[in-house]
Structure 1
């Protein structure tokens, strides 16, 4: 369910109204509504734009060929691909269309695939339309290699599409803040990338959203006390109005127990990192975030487990949401 992201939508519109020049990395805590925002943004675009959405989230990607297969979709019509894209395909296009006869050649290697993308986007621009490329959960290709990391080959392509050729606007989406930290530190992207935080709702917006869902007074405060402005939990709460307090307590108990299990596993595997992790968690007893200057092994473990969220742009570390903050304080309090 989409709700009140007008400020973010306005910023995204500003980005695409200028010449393509930058890769935009959309990041934020888990379940903060990043994909929902980009989908709503794409639906609201004028006919001057052609948005391509590549969803890596639900695919098993163990090789470069897996990734190339996901990038493209088969065009079965008789009309020229670009003409079909510009004239016939409405709204968001899932995958970059390729004629069936060319598919094997295009996905045969990454150079053919990337060349096809560039030539197709050039033709779309020549038609007067502006392509937008959205890559969701880009971190899933982080460990793939083609004579070196595939990710760097992909970054070179995306820099070419934006900074050098000005062919397309590029947005990538990720909830993996370790990946964003790595990208943020990447020298080859300095001056070529922008980082756009999509956070949970603030409390005022969360209250308004819950009112829209039919909640009142103490119900609203109960939900916010447990989940803050996490959009996914606010929406889920509407399914549990009849046993709201019991459900809220149950979600907190479940999250607390899950974190305890993970901590116990870590304690058995690596006592040194475990002790560091406990020290970090105790920092949140009287604060909702801490400033950091380095990603230590303990921080890396907590972020990888989606217990904490790392914002490299602001240099802060905080729980993924209100639920995690409450669970942490129960565990180390």
Structure 2
């Protein structure tokens, strides 16, 4: 999905990530509100200035990962530094045998990083009900990870942690856990206001009447706006709206 005006959101997130890590940040909002697109634009702007570690769990078969080590070191979708996850054979062997704690390995690497680190997980709710049995604990993956994230943010201030989800019930369930008290913050990415959605459509060369018609049916949902814009030359504006 293309990136449209999110100046306010980008300004907040860039300022937030310039501060010392002190909490887990949940970026939430309705489906198709543009959370992932916003995060990718933010990553583009941060490249070269931050150590970005990005996991996108969308479309991944998470049960194929057999351990915390696999999840942390192999499921990563993007890393700013190609050497960050490059492990020597001794460490790899210890991790595969369960003789090394993957969280300790990752924490040590964060400590060595000379620039600010930002760890991002998109579609984090997919980790719910995923379990690994390992020497560091037989609990759910999510709870183990969140405990680790509290440590690297609020306790050690080593890295920002940004978790994206559209499942607000999932967030409520998580944040009822006592160990997360005073350890999380929230940032809403909502649909565009109707007036901004209309401005976007006009900037994409729809006329006033066409833009008003689209907004009356689609509101400010970024995904709908993009579909109409991409199809209008073939189908026309009204038929593009009806085809959604």
TM-score band w.r.t. shorter chain: 0.7 to 0.9
Measure the CA separation in 2 of the matches of 1:150 and 1:46: 29
Question: 2:108 — aligned with what?
Answer: 119
Measure the CA separation in 1 of the matches of 2:98 and 2:35: 31
Between 100-109 and 160-169, report the one with greater CA deviation. Answer: 100-109
Q: Is the 8 A contact 1:26 1:171 kept in 2?
A: yes
CA drift at 1:109: 4.7
Question: 1:97 — aligned with what?
Answer: 85
Question: 2:242 — aligned with what?
Answer: 249
Structure 1 residues 114 and 26: alpha-carbon distance in aligned structure 2, compared to 1, 3 A threshold: same
Q: Is the 8 A contact 2:53 2:79 kept in 1?
A: no
Deviations 1:154-208 (A, max 9, x none): 1110000000000001101112222122123333212100011100111121111
Match 1:130 to one of 116, 120, 135: 116
Q: Secondary structure at the match of 1:65?
A: coil
Q: Is the 8 A contact 1:136 1:174 kept in 2?
A: yes
Measure the CA separation in 2 of the matches of 1:110 and 1:224: 57
How many residue pairs are counted as aligned between the two chains?
233
Deviations 1:75-97 (A, max 9, x none): xxxxxxxxxxxxxxx98469952
Measure the CA separation in 1 of the matches of 2:242 and 2:174: 37
Question: 2:135 — aligned with what?
Answer: none
Question: 1:60 — aligned with what?
Answer: 61
Structure 1 residues 95 and 210: alpha-carbon distance in aligned structure 2, compared to 1, 3 A threshold: farther
2:222 pairs with 1:231: yes
Measure the CA separation in 2 of the matches of 1:107 and 1:206: 50
Q: Which of the pair has the greater relative contact order for Cα pairs under 8 Å at 6+ separation?
A: 2
Query: Structure 2: 5+ residue runs without aligned partners?
Result: 133-137
Question: 1:187 — aligned with what?
Answer: 178
Question: 2:209 — aligned with what?
Answer: 218
Pairing of 1:16-31 with structure 2 (within 5 A): 16-31=17-32
Which segments of structure 1 move beyond 3 Å, counting only runs of 4 or more?
90-96, 102-111
Task: Select the structure that is richer in helix.
Answer: 1
Q: Is the 8 A contact 1:64 1:144 kept in 2?
A: no
Structure 1 residues 169 and 110: alpha-carbon distance in aligned structure 2, compared to 1, 3 A threshold: farther
Match 2:95 to one of 85, 93, 106: 106
Measure the CA separation in 1 of the matches of 2:81 and 2:219: 34
CA drift at 1:21: 0.4
Query: Structure 1: 5+ residue runs without aligned partners?
Result: 75-89, 252-333
